[in-house]
A and B are shown apart, each in its own frame.
Chain A
Amino acid sequence: MPQTTNGAAPAGAAPAVAPILEVEGVTLQYKTKEHLITATYRVDFKVYPADRFVLLGPSGCGKSTLLKGVAGFMRPVEGEMRLKGRRIEEPGPDRVMVFQEFDQLLPWKTVRQNITFALRNGGRCSRESDADEIAMNYIRKVKLNGFENTYPHMLSGGMKQRVAIARGMAMEPDILLMDEPFASLDALTRRQMQEELLQLWDDTRFTVLFVTHSIEEALLVGNRILVLSPHPGQVKAELNTHMHSHANAGSPEFIALQTRIHNMLFADRVLEE
């Protein structure tokens, strides 16, 4: 830990470990052709090492925008985001993003080359042979051995997302940013991928910031959930969900929490009606 002086001390019974990511009072805005949209309004949260931190909210709550902000693609108009105490200014390989879209893979590179491309350009490996070795290691981790020399267009959607995850993990970033990575997959594959992600996490204990609009997925994947309200995105709640997994999905407690979050998100709408 290079910098331990983290300004203000965490309030309440916060853990003694320094957070990896701090988001403080962040307001994000972007322009469309006709409007200036406020995507999030004064959002605060902290992500600690080995967190599976989920940003949950309906569409329009600015969760993806928030992730882009952390990735460095957007500057906040208000507030600050710090990674390991350093202010986030621009995109960098210490925060790797995994997208929902399948076209995040370079179609002109094979599975292995997609990963070595990241390793070499991201400055993690200067020698191609080292990059190859790391790439193969992560290809085995996501169970794609045998496909290392295949071009992305030959792969199924689930396999493409695995390559993207392997590419992200191979970089060993401080934090892995996942923007609804399983949203384009069919239900069966999605469930399998959620389980595999949790298994990978169990092996290496990386830190991940995961965006989803599915309450169920949030409960399954995350250990802590930030619930955001829409237009603009504001923090509604921060909940612990480490006790929930595929094993107890469907149990009364699981459903109760699911209903609670659902009511939290849609309470306003019910009142309006």
Chain B
Amino acid sequence: MADVKTDPIERPEFERPSVGKANTADVARPLSTLEKVANIDPVRKFTVLLTAIVAWELYTRVAKVPPLIFPTFSDTIVALWKGFTEYGLASQIWASVGILLAGYVIGLAIGAALSFIAVSSRFGSDILGTLTSMLNPLPAVALLPLAMIWFGLGAKSLIFVLLHSIVWPVALNTHTGFMSVAEPLRMVGRNYGLRNIRYVVKLLVPAAFPSILAGMKLGWAFAWRTLIAAELVFGAASEGGGLGWFIFASRNEMDIPGAFAGLLTVILIGFFVENVIFRNIEQGTLVRWGMQSS
């Protein structure tokens, strides 16, 4: 290679006095309808959902799976309907969601307070770091037996357990978000006179919002699972109630389609919160601000 030194070939120069219109239709060709539909996120997700449902129905029918083991999708829907009309499923859902919301709001407040303390000083940051690494791996349901002794059989115990599953992910993510705010942005905030609480609220929180929202989503998912699991042990209130309890009670009565209907409700609510509520928050904030691609 180094033996022969190749010289570049000298070619004549040229310059075009005017560049004509590009003779191609593809400068900005509109996408076809199919391509556009395939770009809509909910459409793609519902296709997946629909495929899963069809596979479920077909498998249980063709393989003649006993309904006591695995009921068909249509049986589950019938049981769901019956649940709403005969067994008061709506009020069970409300009992669960009410407790969840209460726990969620309190949990967010505590998480926010903890991350504020953590961002104010290095000692605060050490406190949060140590607490989180100690308590975050502890499954929330494991606290339930103790919670029942401390707070009795009722909403208080459930909320306590929920708090445990919300506070740590929220505080941890918020703090991580605060720490990763770019240095120029921090300096801009201080340059324009933001200090203390105003600095946190007006600069750090919006700048760290991607991370904060991720923590909120994580907290929600942990809390929802924890709640259903806890309700399986005892109802939403002392007399029994809540979605977890509905599933447990249905199984006890060998109403397997009913238990499936309960599970389906748990999934649907989770799906709704994730793909409708959080999705809309993301679209209105992170996507709009260019902090996350759609």
Which 3 A-B pairs rank lowest in CB-CB distance, beginning with the nearest?
A: A153-B290, A104-B184, A99-B184
Find the A residue at minimum CB distance from B198. Answer: A121
Knowing A97-B187, A99-B184, A103-B182, say if A92 contacts B289 (CB, 8 Å): no
Contact status A108-B184, CB under 8 Å: no
Measured between C-beta atoms, what is the minimum distance from A202 to chain B in Å? 26
Interface check B159, CB cutoff 8 A = no
Cα–Cα, bound, A117→B185 (Å): 13
Find the B residue at minimum CB distance from A71. Answer: B191
Interface check A152, CB cutoff 8 A = yes
Cα–Cα, bound, A171→B188 (Å): 13
Residue tally, chain B, CB below 8 Å to A: 21
B21-29, B41-49, B148-156, B202-210 - interface stretch: B202-210
Knowing A99-B184, A103-B185, say if A93 contacts B192 (CB, 8 Å): yes
Interface check A267, CB cutoff 8 A = no
Knowing A107-B290, A107-B291, A108-B206, say if A92 contacts B193 (CB, 8 Å): yes
Find the B residue at minimum CB distance from A171. Answer: B192
Contact status A117-B184, CB under 8 Å: no
Question: Which chain A positions have C-beta within 8 A of B188?
Answer: 97, 99, 104, 106
Cα–Cα, bound, A117→B209 (Å): 18
Contact status A108-B289, CB under 8 Å: yes
Chain A residues 60-107 with CB under 8 Å of chain B are 68, 71, 73, 91-93, 95-97, 99, 101, 103-104, 106-107
Interface check A154, CB cutoff 8 A = yes
Knowing A99-B184, A103-B185, A104-B185, say if A121 contacts B194 (CB, 8 Å): yes
Question: Which chain B positions have C-beta within 8 A of A101?
Answer: 182, 184
Question: Which chain B positions have C-beta within 8 A of A103?
Answer: 182, 184-185
Interface check A211, CB cutoff 8 A = no
Find the B residue at minimum CB distance from A114. Answer: B188
Chain B residues 262-293 with CB under 8 Å of chain A are 285, 288-291
What would be 30 A-B contacts, judged by CB atoms less than 8 Å apart? A91-B190, A91-B191, A92-B191, A92-B193, A93-B192, A96-B192, A97-B188, A99-B184, A99-B187, A103-B182, A103-B185, A104-B184, A106-B188, A106-B206, A107-B289, A107-B290, A108-B206, A108-B207, A108-B285, A108-B289, A108-B291, A117-B192, A117-B202, A121-B192, A121-B202, A122-B193, A151-B288, A151-B289, A152-B290, A153-B291
